[in-house]
């Protein structure tokens, strides 16, 4: 019995020596000191041996258990220290190193401008119409005919408008005014809507012109709407968009779908009316086209011009953004150059 215990001690010691890391040591500990270990089984069987031998054998098993436990603990501490050192070394962080940055996107300046315009008009009681009422690929009927644009009008020329190849009378819309027609056909007055979107013109691309750009269209139709309402709404928009009440002027103009028509200028935001290159020396910047909806347009869309009247307006989003942020080349909006886009973050 005694020999057996000493043999266990000897084996355990050799295995403790052989263990090369704390995990292996844990296995040794489990094998020799757990409740199912040989030593503990021996302890449990003490009652079966001759009573006079019990104290000696009992003491010896306890002594060996304790001895092995201490050995294992000592060894365990060595491993722990060593493994911790290795871990610290491998996970060492150099706080002086430059960090890695996660690039974050930003909302495109044109989208920001559209959102800003839309928000101002929403506060004035306008709502955005659904996309299906404002398609970019449009039949001539809604882009021209129902807007009182005569067949021979130069805007219809292929020099100005993109026609879809192989499809009769289908164009890439040249303005967002198609939304007016579709909305009038779709709902009964009162109508108070805005419609932002992309439009296409067959232009020579330059710093001032691109062959597609964005517009926001507006339409207000109700009983008793007058030119005074038009002035009030658009002056309010201009002062909110440019940040303070600014002098504006309404110039007599002509559009096929409005009568009377007015182009609206705002006092130059760069020179405050003195004259500078931005305003070509005039002191004024043209920003909006507008007018009272032509009775023919109302009638064609099923709205009785003897009962209802209204006004419409359209503005170029790029132009408004360029004026506000002093951008001198429209192509910057479409080049996807991060150095430009990040400035609007
Ligand atoms: Zn100026």
Q: What is the DSSP string of 156-206?
A: GSTTTSPBPTTSTTEEE-SSTTHHHHHHHHHSPSPEEEEEEEEEE------
* Residue among 182, 35, 22 at smallest CA distance from 87: 22
DSSP 244: S
Q: What angle do CA 318, 321, 324 make, to 5 degrees?
A: 150
pLDDT for the residue 109: 93
Return d(Cα 248, Cα 239) in angstroms, integer. Answer: 9
- In this predicted structure, what is the pLDDT of residue 283? 92
Residue 138 to residue 181: CA distance in whole angstroms: 12
Q: What is the pLDDT of residue 173?
A: 95
What is the gyration radius of the CA atoms in the chain, in angstroms?
42
Alpha-carbon 197 to chain mean position: 18
**246 CA distance to ligand 1 middle (Å):** 13
Tell me how many degrees the CA angle 328-211-167 measures, rounded to the nearest 5.
170
In degrees, rounded to 5, the angle at the alpha carbon of residue 317 between the alpha carbons of residues 316 and 322 is 100
Lookup: tokens for 157:
């020329």
Tokens of 298: 């109302």
Query: What pLDDT is recorded for position 110?
Result: 94
Low-confidence ranges of the chain (pLDDT < 70): none
Give distance in angstroms: CA of 243 to centre of ligand 1: 17
Cα 200 to averaged position of ligand 1 atoms, centre (Å): 28
Q: What is the pLDDT of residue 303?
A: 96
pTM: 0.69
**pLDDT for the residue numbered 135:** 93
Query: Domain 109-344 class?
Result: alpha beta
Q: What six digits make up the tokens of 282? A: 């005039």
Q: What is the 328 CA–ligand 1 centroid distance (Å)?
A: 13
DSSP label at 102? P
Spacing, Cα 274 to ligand 1 middle (Å): 6
Identify the pLDDT of residue 218.
96
Q: What pLDDT, on a 0 to 100 scale, did the predictor assign at position 253? A: 94
Q: How far apart are CA 223 and CA 99, in angstroms?
A: 63
User: Regarding beta strands 191-200 and 127-128, do their DSSP bridges make them parallel or antiparallel, or are they unpaired?
Assistant: parallel
Question: What would the pLDDT profile of 224-245 be if each residue is shown by its tens digit?
Answer: 999 999 999 999 999 999 887 7
Ligand 1 centroid, distance to 267 Cα (angstroms)? 8
* Distance between CA atoms of residues 219 and 292, nearest Å: 10
């Amino acid at each position: 019995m005694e020999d057996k215990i000493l043999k266990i001690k000897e084996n355990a010691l050799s295995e403790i020596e052989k263990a090369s890391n704390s995990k292996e040591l844990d296995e040794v500990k489990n094998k020799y000191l757990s409740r199912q270990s040989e030593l503990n089984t021996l302890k449990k069987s003490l009652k079966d041996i001759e009573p006079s031998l019990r104290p000696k054998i009992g003491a010896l098993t306890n002594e060996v258990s304790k001895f092995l436990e201490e050995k294992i603990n000592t060894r365990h501490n060595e491993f722990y220290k060593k493994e911790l050192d290795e871990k610290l070394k491998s996970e060492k962080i150099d706080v002086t190193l430059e960090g890695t940055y996660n690039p974050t996107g930003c909302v495109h300046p044109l989208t920001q401008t559209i959102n800003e315009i839309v928000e101002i008009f929403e506060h004035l009681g306008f709502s955005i119409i659904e996309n299906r009422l404002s398609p970019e690929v449009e039949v001539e009927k809604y882009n021209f005919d129902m807007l009182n644009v005569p067949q021979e009008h130069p805007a219809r020329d292929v020099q100005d408008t993109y026609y879809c190849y192989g499809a009769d009378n289908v164009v890439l819309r040249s303005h967002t005014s198609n939304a007016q027609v579709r909305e009038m056909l779709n709902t009964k007055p009162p109508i108070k809507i805005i419609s932002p979107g992309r439009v296409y013109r067959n232009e020579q691309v330059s710093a001032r012109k691109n062959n597609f750009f964005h517009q926001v269209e507006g339409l207000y139709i109700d009983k008793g709407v007058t030119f005074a309402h038009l002035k009030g709404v658009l002056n309010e928009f201009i002062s909110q968009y440019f940040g303070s009440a600014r002098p504006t002027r309404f110039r007599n103009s002509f559009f096929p779908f409005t009568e009377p028509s007015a182009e609206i200028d705002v006092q130059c935001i760069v020179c405050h009316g003195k004259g500078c290159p931005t305003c070509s020396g005039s002191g004024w910047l043209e920003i909006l086209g507008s007018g009272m909806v032509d009775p023919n347009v109302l009638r064609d869309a099923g709205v009785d011009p003897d009962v209802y009247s209204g006004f419409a307006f359209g503005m170029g989003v790029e132009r408004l953004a360029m004026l506000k942020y002093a951008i001198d080349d429209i192509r910057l909006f479409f080049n996807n150059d991060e150095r430009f886009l990040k400035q609007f973050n």
